[in-house]
Chains A and B, each alone.
Chain A
Amino acid sequence: MSDYSVGQFAMIPAGTQASVAPATPRNVPAHGGEPNPSAAFLVAKFGDAIVRSWVNCGETNVIVKVEAIHDVIQWLNEDHGQRYEYLVDVTAVEYRDAGRPLEVVWHLRSLSFLRFLRLKVELPTRGPLVVPSVMDIYSGADWLERECWDMFGIKFEGHPDLRRILLWESYREGFPLRKDFPLRGRFSRAEQLKQALAADPEARYSMEELTIAEAFDSLPEDMRSRLAADKAAGTEAFGE
Chain B
Amino acid sequence: MGITGPIPEGTRDQSGRSTVQIDPSNNDSWVTTRLDFLVNWGRANSLWPMPFGTACCAIEFMATAASRFDLSRFGMERLSYSPRQADVLLCAGRVPLKLAPVIRRIYQQMPQPKWVISMGACASTGGMFDNYAVVQGIDTIIPVDVYVPGCPPRPEALMYGIMMLQKKVMGERLRDGRIREEIVPDPTSQLYIPASRIDELSEPFGNSVNQTRSAP
Contact = CB atoms under 8 A, between A and B. Distances in A.
Check whether chain A touches chain B (CB < 8 angstroms): yes
Interface of A: 167-168, 173, 176, 181-201
Contacts, number: 72
A181 B132 CA distance: 10
B131 A196 contact: no
Contact of B209 (A187, A194, A195, A197): A187
Given A168-B98, A184-B130, A190-B208, 13 more contacts: A168-B97, A176-B133, A183-B132, A184-B211, A185-B209, A186-B209, A188-B208, A189-B202, A190-B198, A190-B207, A192-B132, A196-B100, A201-B105
Contacts of A173: 132
Contact of B208 (A167, A189, A200): A189
B1 interface: no
Contacts of B198: 188, 190
B131 A184 contact: yes
A183 B131 contact: yes
A193 B140 contact: yes
Nearest to B140: A193
Given A182-B209, A188-B210, A201-B105, A193 B131 contact: no
For chain B, give the interface size range.
20 to 34
A206 to B, nearest CB: 15
Closest 8 interchain pairs by CB? A185-B132, A190-B198, A196-B97, A190-B195, A188-B208, A196-B100, A188-B199, A191-B195
A59 to B, nearest CB: 30
A235 to B, nearest CB: 18
Contacts of B207: 189-190
B204 to A, nearest CB: 14
Question: Binding site of A, secondary structure by majority: helix, strand, loop or mixed?
Answer: loop
A213 B47 CA distance: 38
Nearest to A200: B101
B101 A197 contact: yes
A194 B97 CA distance: 10
A222 to B, nearest CB: 16
Contacts of A200: 101
A188 to B, nearest CB: 4
A181 B209 CA distance: 12
Contacts of A186: 209
A146 B65 CA distance: 38
30 contacts: A168-B97, A168-B98, A176-B133, A183-B131, A183-B216, A184-B131, A184-B211, A185-B131, A185-B132, A187-B209, A188-B199, A188-B208, A189-B140, A189-B199, A189-B202, A189-B207, A190-B195, A190-B196, A190-B199, A190-B202, A190-B207, A191-B195, A193-B100, A193-B141, A194-B195, A196-B98, A196-B101, A196-B135, A199-B101, A201-B102
Contacts of A184: 130-132, 209, 211
Contacts of A182: 132, 209
Nearest to B105: A201
A197 B195 contact: no
A183 B215 CA distance: 11
Interface string B139-156: 011000000000000000
A225 to B, nearest CB: 21
Interface in B94-138: 97-98, 100-102, 104-105, 130-133, 135-136
A193 B135 contact: yes
Contacts of B211: 184
A166 to B, nearest CB: 8
